[in-house]
Amino acid sequence: MSRLVPRQSEAAEAVADVGGQPTLSVRNLSKAFGSTQALWPLDLDIRQGEIHALLGENGSGKSTFIKSLSGYHVADTGSVEVCGESLTLGSVKSAHDLGCRFVHQDLGLIRTETVLDNLCAGGSYRTVFGTISGRANRQAAMADLARAGVDIDPKRRLETLSPAEQTAVAVARALRSDDGAEPKLLVLDEPTARLPQKEVAQLLDIVRAVARAGVAVIYVSHRVDEVLEVADTATVLRDGHKVATRDVKELDRRSLVDLLVGDALDDVDISSHNAPTVDAPVLLAVDSLSSAELDRVSFEVKRGEVVGIAGITGSGRESILATVFGELPRVTGSVRVGGSEIKAERPDLSIKDGVAYVPPDRKIRGSIADSSARENLMLVDLTKHWKFPKISRRGEHAEVMRWFERFSVRPGDDADRTLSAFSGGNQQKILFGKWMRTEPRVLLLDEPTQGVDIAAKAELHKQILAAATDGGACAVISSSDTEELISVCHRILVMRHGRIVGTLRGKDKTVVNLSHTAFGTAGEARK
């Protein structure tokens, strides 16, 4: 059994600076891409053992900053010191040698391998007299894992671990010091973006453990509440400028959101939107749908309704919408939209019947990264601008600009740049626009706001609600973000072991109820 090391006192208090020198000292660091100044000259100091949150709206420059630290980008100006030693800008090796470590959202682990093999990836096994020693490696692995605050058997296969534990393995691997380069700084890029709510607390414990071990942590996140809970300090970027660096003790949710958006934020609250009337027609009817991961799932969604799907990883939540859409194979069951049958494995026909599906892994399935934002937006339906014998570029451009404005895509004036040159959150907005322009009757949204900043998230939520309540459509949202489901959905279907085990609506839609139902600890589930 794995166990997470109990939470201790605040990290920053536990570790004193060595000789008063910051672990990370950044001066005047800047980076432009063509005419886009992604990062204006930036100064930043981070102490040993400090958890420093980095926040900012989509396209504010967070990734550019981190990639300039890691050596992936060559910064245009500035200098970086790690514990007083100069980093060679643009050199991945220099960043590593000085102790900078990076854990990205996709973790870069092999699910079918053991924890030990993942930790030793790249061949860094311990040897005794030239022979790989199982015992020495296991002991070293346990020590590495303890550094990330977990006690996991290194012989376990990675896929048997919870998502938070898998993140701990990625952190432990990043913090290995086999080659003699002691880790000093750990950069975590949105580590909780894909975690179910219940595991967020575990992940935050891992971050605290790392800081207690004396490593400075840069914690990139869009989640304000998490930042307030775990970070000692927060830096907010906006349009490539540093807006502020604050002691988190001086901040509350309101003041941090104000720093982020520079304006009052109008959060979405489902209670201000009418639920569909009892006699509203059923738009989506799923009947006894089974697949490799689903077990006789049935539900209906009425016109005007927004329904959420919750559940832990492996519950069926991740595959249900792709199966309904016809992208994943079905074993039995039927899906009907407004009376017509949606065939299995024929997403092309689903689209014709008015179904839109926004997949979670937009980089793989949702978009063509090398095509322009305009081409991606127009992809699903080019007929609107077809004027024999060619496409009207002017009409197309005008429509693209309208979508850019509606979703505040940044930069907002260049739809011809490739999609991959937009920040992650802006790519998601473009992808969302692509489907919204087909005016779907049924919107299937898988993790629709992952990586999207707080203001854009509120805007996307408004658009989803408007599409359902005013536009005569309905929406189903599958999300690991419990608060998103609670604030946007009229009712939430909770999945476990491939089945719907409970439905939460009204006052029952709480984080606690949701977790209990998802984990099967709520007694007899509500139906």
Smallest gap from residue 179 Cβ to ligand ATP (A): 29
Which of 4, 55 has the CB closer to ligand ATP? 55
Q: Partners of 42 in the beta sheet?
A: 29
Smallest gap from residue 360 Cβ to ligand ATP (A): 16
Distance in Å from the first CA to the final CA of the chain: 32
Smallest gap from residue 66 Cβ to ligand ATP (A): 8
Q: Is 71 left (phi over 0), alpha (psi -120 to 50) or beta?
A: left
In angstroms, how far is CA 207 from the centroid of its own chain? 17
Smallest gap from residue 449 Cβ to ligand ATP (A): 11
Phi and psi, residue 262, nearest 5°: 65, 20
Smallest gap from residue 221 Cβ to ligand ATP (A): 10
Which of 359, 451 has the CB closer to ligand ATP? 451
Which of 120, 236 has the CB closer to ligand ATP? 236
Which of 59, 366 has the CB closer to ligand ATP? 59
Smallest gap from residue 256 Cβ to ligand ATP (A): 16
Angle at 195 between CA 194 and CA 199, to 5 degrees: 170
Which of 269, 361 has the CB closer to ligand ATP? 361
Smallest gap from residue 450 Cβ to ligand ATP (A): 11
Which of 189, 205 has the CB closer to ligand ATP? 189
Cis preceding linkage at 196, omega within 30: no
CB 395 within 8 A of CB 449: no
518, with CB counted inside 10 A (0-12, 13-18, 19+), is buried
Counts for the chain of helices (H) and strands (E), in that order: 17, 26
Smallest gap from residue 307 Cβ to ligand ATP (A): 27
> Residues 6 or more apart from 436 whose CB is under 8 A from it?
356, 403, 463, 467
Smallest gap from residue 39 Cβ to ligand ATP (A): 7
> Residues 6 or more apart from 255 whose CB is under 8 A from it?
none
Smallest gap from residue 79 Cβ to ligand ATP (A): 20
Task: Report d(CA 182, CA 64) in Å as an integer.
Answer: 25
Task: Report d(CA 447, CA 444) in Å as an integer.
Answer: 10
Which of 350, 426 has the CB closer to ligand ATP? 426
Which residues contact ligand ATP (rule: CB under 6 A)?
A: 33, 36, 38, 56, 58-64, 410-411, 421-426, 451, 453
At what angle are helices 197-212 and 163-174 packed, to 10 degrees? 20
Smallest gap from residue 424 Cβ to ligand ATP (A): 4
Cis preceding linkage at 389, omega within 30: yes
Smallest gap from residue 220 Cβ to ligand ATP (A): 8
> Residues 6 or more apart from 187 whose CB is under 8 A from it?
66, 69, 70, 100, 101, 102, 103, 217, 218, 220
Which of 276, 424 has the CB closer to ligand ATP? 424
Residue 470 is classified by DSSP as T
Task: Report d(CA 322, CA 360) in Å as an integer.
Answer: 10
Which of 311, 451 has the CB closer to ligand ATP? 451
CB 297 within 8 A of CB 500: yes
Closest-CA residue to 144 (of 121, 181, 170, 123): 170
Strand 442-446, strand 282-290: pairing: unpaired
Which of 42, 185 has the CB closer to ligand ATP? 42
Which of 238, 496 has the CB closer to ligand ATP? 238
Element (H, E) at 206: helix 197-212
Which of 173, 410 has the CB closer to ligand ATP? 410
